[in-house]
Amino acid sequence: MNKTRKYILAGLMTALVFILTFSIKIPVPYTSGYIHLGDSMIYLSVIVLGPVLGAFASGVGSMLADIAGGYVQYVLPTLVIKALMAFIMGIVISAKSRRLFITSICTTFFIWAGFCAGTYFYINKQIDIWGTNNIINMVLGTDADPDAIIESNKLINNLPVYFTAGIAVIIVIFAIIAYLVSRHQGTRALALNSVIGMSAAGICMVMGYFIVESFMYSPIAAIFSIPPNMVQFFGGLIVAVLLAPAFIRAKDNNTH
């Protein structure tokens, strides 16, 4: 693919990241953020463009969506986190040897499991110290809507389910990948690397926004945003996997 075509594709992918991020937004009340399907285009931009231009399209497209949507407090964190997502995925995809591939799987899983376990134990400790009602008041305020309080209580009670499900989904994905790797070689391994890369990038997103929102709001408020970000992570991965064949064909057509 020549440079002109690659830059045109970079502009196109930047636009697609912006559109999918900006057009469908579901607000997250605990941190004034939102979830969306833009991450699916981030994953696909790396497949089409590689790590460097993919990081540019991902970071800039997502940042522009925050600017257009009025989420100015997230502009800089979004630029960094989304670009880092794409770059990490690019690194995982570039792993050529079987050993590096297995290392990527193990590293991604243990980081994710450790993060889920750590945040779960942290929120339990805070509940023991402050109590559930005080935590909800700290996050929502004392004049919060009764429905929001009820939903927050449900979220706290279901946190073990969310974290367990998050770890279970990763285990299922990686078990399927390990099975396929044991039976197939060659081009299939590259596609499987892409799924691992998407998973690593999604984990980067969840952890990145947790760290940022811990400073912007509080660690407790940031924990409340983890389940919605998990939904965004897995939703984006599913959409990207479904659309990947079409994008790969388009990429192949542009290389000839």
> Three-state SS for 97?
coil
Tokens of 206: 């969840």
Can you tell me the distance from the alpha carbon of 88 to that of 83, in angstroms, rounded to the nearest whole number?
9
- Using CB atoms within 10 Å of the CB of residue 203, give its burial: 0 to 12 exposed, 13 to 18 middle, 19+ buried: buried
At 188 the pLDDT is 42
Among candidates 219, 206, 238, 230, which has minimal Cα distance to 30?
219
At 131 the pLDDT is 80
> Three-state SS for 94?
coil
Q: Note the pTM of the prediction, 2 decimals.
A: 0.82
CA distances from 31 to 44, 79, 104, 137, 228 (A): 27, 18, 31, 14, 11
Cβ neighbour number for residue 104 with a 10 Å cutoff: 20
Can you tell me the distance from the alpha carbon of 5 to that of 232, in angstroms, rounded to the nearest whole number?
30
Among candidates 67, 18, 28, which has minimal Cα distance to 216?
28
Helix 226-254 × helix 3-23 angle, to 10°: 150
Token pair 């929120």: residue? 123
At 156 the pLDDT is 76
Domains contained in the chain, number: 1
At 182 the pLDDT is 52
Q: Which residues have a Cβ under 8 Å from the Cβ of 164 and sit 6 or more positions away?
A: none
CA distances from 161 to 214, 228, 229 (A): 22, 13, 15
Instruction: Provide the residue range defining the domain that includes 86.
Output: 3-254
At 38 the pLDDT is 92
Contact yes or no for 152/139 (Cβ under 8 A)? yes
Token pair 């995809």: residue? 93
- CATH number where 229 lies: 1.10.1760.20
Contact yes or no for 170/105 (Cβ under 8 A)? no
Can you tell me the distance from the alpha carbon of 145 to that of 184, in angstroms, rounded to the nearest whole number?
54
pLDDT per residue rounded down to tens, the chain (256 residues): 678 888 899 999 999 999 999 998 888 776 777 889 899 999 999 999 999 999 999 999 999 999 999 999 999 999 999 999 999 999 888 877 778 778 877 888 888 888 888 887 887 888 788 787 777 777 777 677 777 778 778 777 777 777 777 767 776 766 666 555 555 544 444 467 787 888 889 889 999 999 999 898 888 888 888 888 888 888 888 888 788 878 877 777 766 5
At 77 the pLDDT is 95
Helix 187-216 × helix 75-93 angle, to 10°: 160
